[in-house]
Structure 1
Amino acid sequence: MREYLKKAGIRACVYFTIAMLFWCVAGLMFAGPVEGVVITLSLLLAMGLLTLLQTLWFTPLVARRMHYPVRIAGFCLTGLPALALCAAVGSWFPLDNAGAWASFVVIYLVATALLTIGYALYYRRTVGSLDAALARYRESRKG
């Protein structure tokens, strides 16, 4: 059941993304580059870029033996310019407002730090429980 729900969720995300792209293109054709359409397209671009960067930094397709902190740093260092580009293209906030850009960078850094800490805690707890389960299994095999 869990696998079915996972596949259904992925399918829903793919269909939603395709529908959003279709309706944004239609919006551009009929209404022109209005704010909502431009922001939506820039958000879709941002998610596409971050997905590519995630594939680059967190899979063995590019680098097989890279320490996790290096992967996180690489993702963060390349993710910020990618999001900044999308923010500029999509006019998420005024380009000449230094305070908005500074806030954007701070929010990005804080969010990235919190997500990294959360994942590290989850990973530590999961690996700890897997190590304990493996030790119990090995003990049961001895007897």
Structure 2
Amino acid sequence: AQAWAEAERLLKGFDPETVKSVQAGLARSESEGQRRMLALHGGGSRDGLEIHPNLWAGIGLVRGGAGTALVGSHEEVAERIKEYAALGIEEFVFSGYPHLEEAYWFGEGVLPRLAADGLWRHPHDALADGSVLVPFAR
């Protein structure tokens, strides 16, 4: 519920004129991926933005590129990542809003669940010198 409340807070902060302007610019793109992103939210509609359980297309209203977000509890987000992994996806690029807080949230709550299922291991385990590449995720 907290994650969806945050998504709603972000959505309420999107100025309608900014959304309209961004969407118009993105509509000029020749990218097939961008065309598909625009189709997810009807080129600016704020309705029906949860396009799959825990998958929200709202951020695509104001930015180009990969404009979807996993929204939910630690367990729900881990379950969606497991679904992607089951399809053969091996690498992910994650970010969140606000960035630092979401990095800690993910590292403390999602990564341990993925590790327990053998889908993630800390980079420290692979380094001979003992250095830590992702200190928040230990």
Same fold flag (TM > 0.5): no
Name which one, 1 or 2, has greater alpha-carbon Rg.
1
- For this structure pair, what is the TM-score category when the shorter chain's length is used for normalisation? under 0.3
TM-score by length of 2: 0.25
The structure with more helix, counted as a fraction of residues: 1
The structure with more strand, counted as a fraction of residues: 2
TM-score by length of 1: 0.24
